[in-house]
């Protein structure tokens, strides 16, 4: 890992997302990209792609630069420092391609940097395909690997067992170091998984707002989300089987979520509204 600079950050939160297995519809990396486009940032470190990537799996891309010269963009991971004076804590944003090999070393290097920067929390964003209708709010699953973390932030303890991605490896390393670790995952309708999925990216941004109790400018995400939903509406109208399937998913989800339409849920939505009004 090549260190560019070590900025002075206030009890920073390390926010991570990787393209690939953990990122259905590019929802998680889309949320990270939105944050980087919203706040001023600087590169703290760059991971050496030679050490962690199989270029036959994640091939470099050739492109023409401004002078029309051919250049190569290599897959990799960048670590950014983000100053957010309007928040109580700054951010360290990690964005990259899921590495192909040496995950233990990759996670250790990243968390060593986190120790040097004295991170206060690790927050990972991911997205998965699910049986969910595109016409309803994107469901966000929040979980923590330990009971004390989960109770502190109002989440459940993850009971998932099975294959994991680089997010799981990094989270495991964070827990062993005693760092609070939370995961937020967006559920992408599997029949509308073509990238990008701005509605899911927006849902992740809203979940980060709720968790950190902050207000984040939404930029073009709401408009992009509406356009995405209208596009999938057209798909469902053109294909009767897809349309019937969407209706069945809507009925199933509405029946399951009706008991949760409680005063607490309404209060949470109102708090989010007030935070955004305050920031405006």
- How do the domains of the chain map onto residue ranges? 2-279
Strand, helix or coil at 37?
helix
Q: What is the end-to-end Cα distance of the chain in Å, rounded?
A: 39
- Give the span between the Cα atoms of 189 and 231, in whole angstroms: 13
- pLDDT category of residue 45 using cuts at 50, 70 and 90: very high
Strands of the sheet with 2-3, listed across from one edge: 2-3, 41-46, 77-82, 91-97, 13-19, 121-130, 181-189, 140-144, 156-157
Residues 46-93 have pLDDT tens digits of 998 899 999 998 899 998 888 888 988 899 999 999 999 889 999 999
Instruction: For 112, list phi and psi in degrees, rounded to 5.
Output: -60, -45
Instruction: For 99, list phi and psi in degrees, rounded to 5.
Output: -65, 155
119 CB neighbour count, 10 Å cutoff = 25
- Report the percentage of the chain scoring pLDDT > 90: 59
- pLDDT category of residue 239 using cuts at 50, 70 and 90: confident
C-alpha neighbours within 13 Å on the C-beta side of residue 87: 21
Q: In CATH, what number does 2-279 get? A: 3.40.50.10900
Distances (CA, A) of 76 to 55, 195, 198: 10, 20, 23
């Amino acid at each position: 890992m090549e260190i560019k600079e070590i900025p002075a950050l206030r009890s920073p939160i390390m926010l991570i997302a990787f393209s690939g297995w953990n990122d259905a519809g590019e929802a998680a990396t889309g949320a990270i990209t939105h944050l980087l486009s919203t706040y001023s940032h600087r590169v703290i470190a760059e991971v050496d792609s030679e050490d962690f990537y199989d270029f036959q799996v994640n091939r470099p891309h050739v492109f023409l630069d401004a002078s029309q010269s051919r250049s190569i963009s290599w897959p990799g991971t960048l670590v950014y420092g983000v100053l957010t004076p309007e928040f109580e804590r700054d951010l360290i944003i990690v964005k990259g391609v899921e590495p192909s090999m040496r995950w233990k070393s990759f996670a250790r290097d990243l968390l060593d940097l986190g120790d040097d920067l004295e991170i206060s929390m690790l927050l990972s964003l991911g997205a998965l395909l699910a049986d969910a209708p595109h016409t309803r709010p994107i469901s966000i699953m929040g979980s923590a690997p330990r009971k004390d973390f989960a109770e502190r932030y109002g989440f459940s303890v993850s009971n998932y067992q099975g294959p994991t991605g680089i997010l799981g490896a990094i989270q495991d390393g964070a827990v062993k170091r005693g760092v609070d670790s939370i995961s937020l995952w967006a559920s992408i309708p599997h029949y509308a998984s073509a990238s990008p999925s701005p509605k899911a990216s927006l849902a992740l941004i809203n979940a980060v707002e709720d968790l950190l109790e902050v207000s984040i400018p939404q930029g073009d995400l709401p408009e992009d989300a509406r356009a995405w939903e209208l596009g999938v509406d057209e798909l469902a109208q053109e294909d009767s089987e897809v349309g019937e399937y969407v209706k069945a998913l809507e009925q199933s989800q509405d029946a399951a979520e009706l008991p949760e339409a409680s005063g607490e849920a309404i209060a949470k939505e109102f708090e989010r509204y007030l935070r955004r009004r305050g920031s405006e």
